[in-house]
Chain A
Amino acid sequence: METYYALNQFPLNSWGQIVYIKESAKMRRRLWDLGFTNGAAIKALYVSPSGNPKAYLIRGSVIALRNEDAGAIIISPKEKGSTSWD
């Protein structure tokens, strides 16, 4: 059975896959441009001292998002397949 997470609550250092980005996300287009698209492999990397924002590894680069924005991205855990980056 698959468990879904909001990206900001996804456990650190585990790999997942983007399932869906909510339409209400005010920065949906920006997220797409940065490579947050359905099916993309993603890993939560680290957290700022106050817990918000958090930084994620996506398509080879590290992008920090605020929790309220990351909350609109739905993730399901999935082992990382082969990629051209790490």
Chain B
Amino acid sequence: MTQIEIRNLHKTFKADAVLNGLSLSVDRGEIVTLFGPSGTGKTVLLRLLAGIYPPDAGTILLRGRDASGSPPDKRGIGMAFQNFALFPHMTARNNIASALTARKTNAGEIARKVEAVAQLLKIGHVLGHSPRELSNGQKQRTALARALVADPDILLLDDPLRNVDAKLRYEMRLELPALLKRVGSTVLYVTQDFKEAMALGDRVAVLLDGRIAQCDTPARIYAEPVNVGVARLFGDPTLNLIEVAPQLVDGAPEIRLGGMRIRLPASYAVAAGGLYLLGLRPEALRLVEAPGPRTVAVELVAVTPLNEKSVLLLTMQGGEELLASEAGDRDEPRRTGPAHVAFDLDALLLFERESGRRFIPSGNGEVAHERIAITSHR
């Protein structure tokens, strides 16, 4: 059942169109992470949902009912703010309880619920403290507890891990999915960190240019981004983009890359004659000893070890740069100098240069076949 439905939402601040016909629907109990570069209106969208700002145009349906005109206190939403927004003149206990006092719950019931949620978030021992006596992590948990305590069926979390230190962020990233599933609310979770978006979301909604560019499972967003903009947002380091012009040679599509001709699967034949951007994920590039049919001669310029992986900077003949990454557990360090790089054609992404849309090859059987061929070559 659809719990949140947003149709064609518009919001403009001064002359700046932040949301431009955004539509999104979230099912009951689903966790959708809202991801996009800063300034794309993620926070604005949450505020529109919470009723803090009115939309310029468009409809918001909460639990199937039109929410326009209903004030924030009547929407039955739990929300955690990026800057915590704790009430400085109240103790942590009263901060959390504030979500219950409005509902005319009796004092014993309030105390019991506050204790329970504090236990869950491990802040039971600081309930008597005022916000200024809390550490950032405790503040963040208090803000989260305040959003959770009334068991709202819709939960809006605005980058709650943004302002906490790295260690706590990892801890919370591990705890949060279980916690959110346990609460059972429908969750919209805003984040600027693609790893967080992929780790926490049942689906990831990518916000670009005031609309949802793509809303899909993390795996599909990564493997099948709708356009180059979405592809660029996921991955560290980000994917390599090289301009290519596929041509038909002897009836088979080919691209020229670093002075080498690389044959593409037959399903790419339609792309011949157009201008495209070739997207290569760094982890889909492998350095190999000897040249082969799908390798390109490169120069290994630099190696950046990042503990669990190493990032390699390569240059091709034309001077174009490529980033590759590989597991960081090699016994001997790589030496810079000439090398060959092989491509995993299965992970190849091709985008139309003008529109940025991903090129979808026709007939997937061909791709599978080609992959087998490469494996046998190895």
The answer to whether A and B belong to the same complex is no
A binding-site residues for B, Cβ under 8 Å: none
